[in-house]
Structure 1
Amino acid sequence: MESIASKNVFVGLSGGVDSAVSAALLQNAGAHVTGVFIKGWYPPGMPCTWAEDRRDAMRVAAHLGVPFHTLDASTEYKQGVIDYLISEYAAGRTPNPDIMCNREVKFGAFYRFAKEHNADFIATGHYAQTKDGQLFRGIDPSKDQSYFLWAVPKEALSQTLFPVGGLPKSEVRALAEKFNLPVAQKKDSQGICFLGSISVDEFLRNELKTEEGDVLDETGQKIGTHDGAVLHTLGERITPHDAEQGPWYVVRKDLAINVLVVRHGSAAFETPPATLTLRDTNWFTPDALEGTLEAQYRYHGSVTAGTYDKKTSTFTPSVPLPEPIAAGQSLVLYVGDSCIGGGIIE
């Protein structure tokens, strides 16, 4: 981490361990730390832990003796994340809301708020690393979150610190105990950015008013039913109601008639696509888009080698893809541990 003594650093305090340790590390390095809890948009009538998380963030700030603010980013979150999530699923695509949350909220609304208050840097508890404006994987492969950061604006990334990105999770937990942080024993959040304990499935059922439909095998024979085709993605393993024992994998879906087509035993392509076309790309180091690259199309998913054509915005894998990839998912490109950027799969 570069020299930050006497620098004004606004830390996004989520109420969790990673951001709390990040704030403590920055303070120990001599930075003038300000804690900021980012309040998102929360589904009416559905349970959410934001009030508890804000309280925990306040406790961390009080323990460290640093100023604390609450940023209301509900408008940015509703428009840039929730509306996007709903429209993409309704169109039959499979979006990644955490990626849009980072772009629109944490490195959008929060970054602007910090700069308006004379911050030199912002910091978050993400497991990633930066150097000279470039993004790198976090040192702990089981926690690396660079995949979720490909859409962060380059300007914001150049002024962002990831204090725990160079540490394994076990050490972060140990530091939380060492600093006697009030959230040292708190469990990691497993929910979508700002939706807390609410699952995507739960949220979409409520928002899209899903209906039961037929599940067909590849011969067109009905083998069971589902709760809503819009809830499922290509390659997903599902358990149809009243079907014989699986495993069953989604290979096609037709939202117009609310039907899923499944294959027994495997989701492997019969004829894998030769290329993947990307839209809404964001490149941190576009000059690195030469030669053989590594592509990741799912968080903690397998890495596929291939090449990228900037003129056509297409990625060509070196070997056939092993499984269906749903439109709307993100393809993120790397050279070693350096994240070049990414885009959304058409």
Structure 2
Amino acid sequence: MKKQLTKDLTLFYTDNFPNKRNIKDISKYVVLGIGGNVGNVKKRFDMLYMMLKQNTQIKLIATSPILQNPPFGYVDQDDFYNAVVVIDTHLNPFELLKYTQRLERRFHRKNEFKNAPRTIDIDIITYKNKTIKSKNLTLPHPEYTKRESVMIPLSFWNAEFIRFSLGQAQINLGFQQRQARLKSGFRLRQLRQAQMNLGFQKLSPKLKVLVGLSGGVDSSMSAMMLQKMGYDVEGVYMKLHSVSEDYHKQNLEAVAKVANFLGIKYHILDIEDKFKEKVYDYFVQSYREGITPNPCVVCNRLIKFGAMVEFAKSLGMDKVATGHYAKTDGEFIYCADDATKDQSYFLAQVSKDVLPMLIFPMSSYKKEEIVSMASKMPSFKTIADKKESQEICFVPTVYTDILSKHFDTDKDGDVLKDGKVVGKHKGYMHYTIGKRRGFSVHGAHDPHFVLSTNPKDNTITVGTKEHLAVNRVVLSSLNMFVDELEFDATVKLRYRSSGVACHVKIKDDKAYVSLKEPVFGVAVGQYGVFYIGDKVVGSGEIVFN
């Protein structure tokens, strides 16, 4: 939708601009002015919007409509598109300046000369009423009140302000155009050169993104959102196992329906052999050895963000996206906004070399929002109504059904307490650390829990809850995103657990973790994930508790 303000000024309304209109006191926040006139600026604004939403150090408060307006300073170039973004942040003004400059570089911003054509420009207009005058930064921005490109978008939050803004804009604009015509001659060659240098941005293809499509609502909506943001989207369905051909048939029907609706190409990547070797066999062997595996963590590292990324590179893709609920800024993984769906734990072993390629469109949404949006679209409604899988993808019922194909899972064994036989169980593979049902303890009045399993003699050792308490753990197979060898953090020792404060010391490729309070039911083979705030700083497999 667009609104013609004057002959030269047009407001555009998109999905992300404007966003949230009511701001009682804009002086409490930071105001950014954004603009550009090279290539598809509006789609670039959508990409910037997503980047800001994914940055955990920034809270996006509101955005204005997009103003199309004549160029400022030099008129021999395309119209500019400008908007205002209101944020809150813990970054100080100079840290924020560095961050905005990094964003400009990501969009190939070049500083040819003042008021030259540009892919994107991000200015700090005001910062919470602060006044700063330094070599690199002046706040408030010294010229913002003279620019319609800022004043008109700002007036979006103050209806009484718009008449003044328009009047001033027209006066300023007329003066600027006259001055530009007088002064532009001696720099015309520079301007033409700048346009040539930036010309590849106008004609360059869109960023190509390979989206992992599972047939579920999250990955389907991810593909739709990325296409809407201007990416060149292709899909890939990964055939990982042959537990059920109906499973693949139903998923592929859903993938084909989504691809047809979006008009995108999709691939089928059959990596069953690799999945069996790296994930399935690891799963089976872990239980054989009395270890509780986490196949989803391993699959994400080696398959979804290993083999799929390599496949994307072979297709010449720039980015890879999935429907995971998590955030990334290319350096770290962060928790998603929806804490109930956050999957950062499962992504903590993904190689840091891969992170710059990843996009998680679900990062700032709640699951119910995604389902609601999909339900309103005829081509997505069936997918939205589809029951969400809560289990391991290759385990259709219970995990022991998989294990029983490889060895006897129902061989009775002894239950031990303090080294003495106190009961019977139905096979050690049925038990993980902390389980309290499925075995007998003669004469016990208090609940008893599994403390350990011994595959060699098919025994399990049990005890009361206090015996489950763990004050330290050791992790191996480390995947660290920070270089420090000693630090304080919060650690999650299983997916649905609450984090606990800890002190971490790394030595000889292992992490020695001292817990500030006891944790109950820590299983060898699961993963410990370190967080500082909502940032994942490392992880490793639990090898000792």
User: Which residue, out of 443, 458, 474, partners 1:277?
Assistant: 474
**Alignment match of 2:281 (pick from 77, 80, 83):** 83
> Which of 382, 392, 396 is the equivalent residue of 1:197?
396
Query: CA separation in 1, counterparts of 2:283 and 2:254?
Result: 28
> Are 1:295 and 2:495 matched, yes or no?
no
Contact kept, 8 Å, 2:453 with 2:459, in 1: the verdict is: yes
Q: What is the SS of the residue equivalent to 1:257?
A: coil
Q: 1:48 to 1:93 in 2, by over 3 A?
A: farther
The Cα shift of 1:35 comes to 1.0
Residues 183 and 30 of structure 1: CA distance in aligned 2, closer, same or farther (over 3 Å): same
Change (3 A) 1:320 1:176: same
d(CA) in 1 for partners of 2:264, 2:336: 27
User: Which amino acid counterpart does residue 216 of structure 1 have in structure 2?
Assistant: V
Instruction: Verify the 8 A CA contact 1:268 1:322 in the aligned structure 2.
Output: no
Which residue of 1 is the match for residue 218 of structure 2? 18
Corresponding residue to 2:514 among 317, 327, 330: 317
What is residue 408 of structure 2 aligned with on the other side?
209
Task: Map Cα deviations across residues 186-223 of structure 1 (whole Å, 9 max, x no partner).
Answer: 1111221x315243222122223223223425152432
- Length, aligned pairs only: 338
Q: Which residue of 2 aligns with 1:236?
A: 435
Match of 1:62 among 254, 260, 283: 260
Label 1:246 to 1:112 Cα distance change in 2 as closer, same or farther (>3 A): farther
Q: Could you list the per-position Cα deviations for residues 156-183 of structure 1 after superposition, in whole angstroms to 9, with x for gaps in the alignment?
A: 2221100001111111111212444141
CA separation in 1, counterparts of 2:354 and 2:407?
A: 34
Moved more, 17-26 or 277-286: 277-286
Deviation of residue 78 (structure 1)? Answer: 0.6
Cα 1:55/1:16, change in 2 over 3 Å: same
8 Å contact from structure 1 (residues 285, 340) kept in 2: yes
Question: Any conservation in 2 of the 1:268–1:324 contact (CA below 8 Å)?
Answer: no
TM-score, normalising length: structure 2 = 0.58
Aligned CA-pair RMSD: 2.3
Measured in 2, the distance between the counterparts of 1:269 and 1:321 equals: 11
Mapped partners of 2:353, 2:246: distance in 1: 32
RCO comparison, higher one (Cα < 8 Å, 6+) = 1
Q: Aligned runs of 1:1-346 on 2, under 5 Å? A: 1-2=50-51, 6-43=206-243, 49-180=247-378, 181=380, 182-192=382-392, 194-195=393-394, 197-219=396-418, 220-226=420-426, 228-240=427-439, 247-263=447-463, 266-269=464-467, 272-287=469-484, 290-312=486-508, 313-346=510-543
Gaps of 5+ in 1: none
Q: Aligned equivalents of 2:327 and 2:376: distance in 1? A: 23
Residues 74-105 of structure 1: per-residue CA shift (max 9 Å, x gap): 12211110111112111111110001111111
CA contact (8 A) 1:81 1:101 kept: yes
Q: Is the 8 A contact 1:251 1:267 kept in 2?
A: no
Aligned residues of 1:275 and 1:314 also touching (Cα < 8 A): no
Supply the distance in 2 between the matched residues of 1:259 and 1:109 (Cα, whole angstroms): 39
Residue 39 of structure 1 contacts residue 73 of structure 1 at CA under 8 Å; is this kept in 2? yes
* Structure 2 counterpart SS, 1:334: strand
Over the matched positions of the two proteins, sequence identity in percent amounts to: 32
Query: Deviation string for 1:85-130 (max 9, x for gaps)?
Result: 1121111111100011111110011111011001110000001000
Contact 1:127–1:162 under 8 Å retained in 2: yes
Paired residues of 1:42 and 1:48 also in contact (CA < 8 A) = no
Secondary structure of the residue aligned to 2:475 is strand
Task: Determine which structure has the larger helix proportion and give its number.
Answer: 2
Q: Secondary structure at the match of 1:262?
A: strand
* Residues 178 and 29 (structure 1), Cα distance of their counterparts in 2 relative to 1, 3 Å cut: farther
Instruction: Give the Cα–Cα distance (whole angstroms) in 2 for the partners of residues 245 and 229 of structure 1.
Output: 23
Runs of 4+ residues deviating >6 angstroms? 241-246
Is the alpha carbon distance of 1:111 and 1:70 closer, same or farther for their aligned partners in structure 2, counting shifts above 3 Å?
same
Q: Partner letter of residue 162 of structure 1? A: F
Give the Cα–Cα distance (whole angstroms) in 1 for the partners of residues 451 and 245 of structure 2.
33
Q: Which protein has the larger Cα radius of gyration, Structure 1 or Structure 2?
A: 2
CA change 1:165–1:208 in 2 (3 A) is farther
